[in-house]
């Protein structure tokens, strides 16, 4: 039994060492911010901060699937703006809200289908096609709204974003459900294993009988659907839909996913790490707000984090290749 103790310990550290490091950094940050700001650990601030993280966390679940498969989706922020704006405009035009909501979600899925079609059939690089989709969809949003917010929603829609269940924000409960489903999907289904296989070595996966094209369709459609749902929750929290919604979401989400341990080249990552990345990034931004640091400096900080994480991942990939 004793000779096997060390290998088991090594396996545990290999599996969870990085996550434990993130947890340690988060705890240190909490301690520092609780000293710098007495409002940081208040119930009100924690609830407000948690609500603010929910949309990014939902989108990050979908982005994790895409990035593990070896792709990327820069259009998620534009989809977050498009779907609630369309829902509000259709409801304002007399459509039943349920029908308008379904139409909006289908439109979001259409964007994901376009991305998947371009990546699978036209073999366009994901970063190129999703950048183009992001620009086109954002332009459509500004065009249909004339650059103005859309507030034609039923009264209960705004209350949804601020509802609680036993004191826990409803949006947090919904987010936890998506996190659990995403984690089970990746770890407990054959499609989840195929996603890892395609991201790790697509040629080898195809040679083993995996339909790489079908896997990419799944991840891009899922990512678009989750971005659509996140946009609806964000609009509900604000009680209106804005064409500027989600502008910083791609940078924020990709940074959190990479920070959570997902490899930029695919084949590696987990939902739990992504959640840790979102919480750490969200806690840092919240702390910066409380101490009065400008949003411009916050954006610079996120960019620096992205550079450091990508550099760390590159070194990790280089060591693994040796």
Residue extents of the structural domains in the chain: 39-246
CB atoms within 10 A of CB 2: 5
Lowest mean pLDDT across 22-26, 203-207, 222-226: 22-26
The DSSP secondary-structure symbol of 42 reads: S
d(CA 158, CA 315): 46
Give the contacts of 213 (CB within 8 A, at least 6 positions apart).
120
* Cβ(310)–Cβ(258) below 8 Å: yes
Q: Please name the helix (run of DSSP H) or strand (run of DSSP E) that holds residue 147, with its range, or none.
A: none
Beta bridge partners of 150: 241
Q: Average model confidence (pLDDT) for the chain?
A: 90
Q: What percent of the chain is predicted at pLDDT more than 70?
A: 93
Q: What is the pLDDT of residues 47-73, one digit of tens each?
A: 889 888 999 999 999 999 999 999 999
Beta-sheet strands, E only, within 132-231: 164-165, 168-169
pTM for this entry: 0.91
| 8 Å CB contact between 224 and 82 | no
CA–CA dist 44, 226 (Å, integer): 27
Determine the average pLDDT of the residues in 94-114.
Answer: 97
How many residues belong to the chain? 322
């Amino acid at each position: 039994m004793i000779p096997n103790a060390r290998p088991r310990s090594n396996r545990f550290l290999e599996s969870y060492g990085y996550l434990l490091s993130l947890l340690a950094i988060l705890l240190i940050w909490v301690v520092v911010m609780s000293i710098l700001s007495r409002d940081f650990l208040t119930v009100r601030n924690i609830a407000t901060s948690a609500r603010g993280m929910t949309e990014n966390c939902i989108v990050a679940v979908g982005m994790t699937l895409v990035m593990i498969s070896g792709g990327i989706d820069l259009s998620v922020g534009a989809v977050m703006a498009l779907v609630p704006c369309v829902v509000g405009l259709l409801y304002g035009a007399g459509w039943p809200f349920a029908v308008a909501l379904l139409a909006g979600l289908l439109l979001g899925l259409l964007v994901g289908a376009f991305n998947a079609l371009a990546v699978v059939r036209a073999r366009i690089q994901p970063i190129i096609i999703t950048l183009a989709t992001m620009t086109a969809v954002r332009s459509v949003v500004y065009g249909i709204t004339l650059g103005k917010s859309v507030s034609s929603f039923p009264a209960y829609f705004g209350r949804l974003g601020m509802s609680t269940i036993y004191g826990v924000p409803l949006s947090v409960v919904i987010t936890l459900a998506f996190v659990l489903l995403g984690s089970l999907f990746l770890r407990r289904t054959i499609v989840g294993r195929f996603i890892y296989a395609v991201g790790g070595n697509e040629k080898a996966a195809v040679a083993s009988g995996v339909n790489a094209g079908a896997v990419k369709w799944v991840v891009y459609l899922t990512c678009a659907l989750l971005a659509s749902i996140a946009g609806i929750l964000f609009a509900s929290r604000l009680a209106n839909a804005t064409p500027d919604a989600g502008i910083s979401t791609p940078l924020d989400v990709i940074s959190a996913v990479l920070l959570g341990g997902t490899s930029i080249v695919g084949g590696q990552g987990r939902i739990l790490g992504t959640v840790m990345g979102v919480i750490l990034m969200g806690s840092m931004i919240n702390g910066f707000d409380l101490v009065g640091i400008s949003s411009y400096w916050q954006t610079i900080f996120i960019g620096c984090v992205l550079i450091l994480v990508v550099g760390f991942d590159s070194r990790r990939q280089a060591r693994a290749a040796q």
